[in-house]
Amino acid sequence: MNRLKQLFDKKDKDILSVYFTAGYPTLDATLKIAEELQNAGADFLEIGFPYSDPLADGPVIQKSSEVAIANGMTLKVLFEQLKSLREKIHIPVLLMGYANPMIQYGVKEFCKKAAEVGVDGVIVPDLPMYEYEELYKDDFIDNGLSNVFLVTPQTSEERIRKIDGLSNGFIYLLSSSSTTGKALNVSDEIGVYYQRVKDMKLNNPLIIGFGISDQKSFERANQYANGAIVGSAFVKTLADKDDYLAHIHDFIKGIKG
């Protein structure tokens, strides 16, 4: 049974997801960070597999990807590391990254491997609906993986409905049309957009991401959605290679209040 579904059955608000880049700040940091986040109270995790040209990302995640690649992180290495994922990690885990490394690995093989090590879902921002449906959907479904799509303030209602129909985990609601790591848009307009999507009563839970960096932005997101994702703000705290685990508890506490 998909752990994401179990989580959403149990909990429908204040869900906290945390993104971090595999192999950053050190190659072997991946599982250590995951375990620390679980202990600190994160509800699910998004582990980024790095790409040399992350065009939807701002400077913080770009930098972490660059360092991770230099550290030797590849999909092969990551799946090797994740072999022991489920020894200690019980919360849902998604992989997040760009289409090219996944295609190069082989999408079928990627999905098989991900399911094997206990991954629950995948987020690939530059894999659009049409290509997913035509080329890859069966590989995801056959391996019980949730594929997560993004929705922005500019996404039409018709398109959101289509995304909802194709989704089987949650919908990743972007706080604004921007790259990652920008400050959250707190205008009334954004509230109207959140409310509009909330009122559509979609089948999938809504998780808000991009620009969530503190308790205030986390709480605001939870007024409209089932939870929120913290990415850049967390990755920023990991820069110190010798001491990256030290601040994780405080950071998560600071978000959840």
Partner 1 sequence: MGHTNYRVTEKGYYGDFGGAYIPEMLYPNIEELRNNYLNIIAQPDFQAEFQSLLKDYVGRPSPLYLAKRLSERYGTSIFLKREDLNHTGAHKINNTIGQILLAEKLGKKRIIAETGAGQHGVATATVCALKGLECVIYMGEVDIERQAPNVARMKMMGATVVPATSGSKTLKDATNEAMRDWINNPVDTHYIIGSVVGPHPYPEMVSQFQSIISEETKKQLIEHTGSPSPDYVLACVGGGSNAMGMFYHFLDDEHVKLIAAEAAGLGVNSGHSAATSVLGKEGVLHGSRTILMQTEDGQVIEPYSISAGLDYPGIGPQHAHLHKTKRVEYVSITDAEAMDASLLLSKLEGIIPAIESAHALAQLEKMTFKGDEIVVVCLSGRGDKDLNTFMKYFNL
Q: Return the number of the residue (149 or 251) whose C-beta is nearest partner 1.
A: 149
Choice between 143 and 179, CB closer to partner 1: 179
Sign of CA dihedral 200, 7, 16, 94: negative
Strand order in the sheet with 44-48: 146-148, 121-123, 93-96, 44-48, 15-21, 227-230, 206-209, 171-174, 150-151
Nearer to partner 1, 101 or 144 (CB): 101
Is 75 near partner 1 (CB under 8 A)?
yes
Please tell me whether residue 82 adopts helix, strand or coil conformation: helix
Of 34-42, 174-182, 197-205, 216-224, which segment contacts partner 1 by CB under 8 A? 174-182
Helix (H, G, I), strand (E, B) or coil at 247: coil
Is 46 catalytic? The answer is yes
Does the annotation count 109 as an active-site position? no
Could you say whether residue 149 binds partner 1 (CB under 8 A)? yes
> Chain-centre distance of CA 247, in angstroms?
20
Stretches 11-19, 40-48, 51-59, 215-223: which one binds partner 1 (CB under 8 A)? 51-59
Residue of 36, 43, 57, 120 marked catalytic: 57
Phi (first) and psi of residue 228, to 5 degrees: -145, 160
Distance, in Å, from the CA atom of 75 to the CA atom of 22, rounded to the nearest integer, reads 9
How many angstroms separate the CA atoms of 87 and 191, rounded? 41
Least distance (Å) between residue 149 CB and partner 1: 7
Q: Where would I find the beta strands (DSSP E) of 36-144?
A: 44-48, 93-96, 121-123
Q: Is 21 a binder of partner 1 (CB under 8 A)?
A: no
- Among residues 33, 102, 225, 238, the one that binds partner 1 under rule CB under 8 A: 102
Q: Which of 27, 103, 166, 239 binds partner 1 (CB under 8 A)?
A: 103
* 187 is a contact residue toward partner 1 (CB under 8 A): no
What whole-number distance in Å separates Cα of residue 133 and Cα of residue 177? 24
H or E stretch covering 174: strand 171-174
- Does the protein bind partner 1 through residue 154 (CB under 8 A)? yes
The CB-of-131 to partner 1 minimum distance in angstroms stands at: 6
CB nearer to partner 1: give 100 or 143. Answer: 100
Q: By C-beta, is 183 or 246 nearer to partner 1?
A: 183
* Residue carrying the six token digits 């604004």: 176
Any contact of residue 200 with partner 1 (CB under 8 A)? no
Least separation in angstroms between CB 91 and partner 1: 26
Q: Which residues contact 90 (CB under 8 A, 6 or more apart)?
A: 3, 38
Residues acting as catalytic residues = 46, 57
Binding site for partner 1 (CB under 8 A): 51-56, 58-59, 62, 66, 69, 74-76, 98-105, 125-128, 130-131, 149-152, 154-155, 159, 174, 177-179, 182
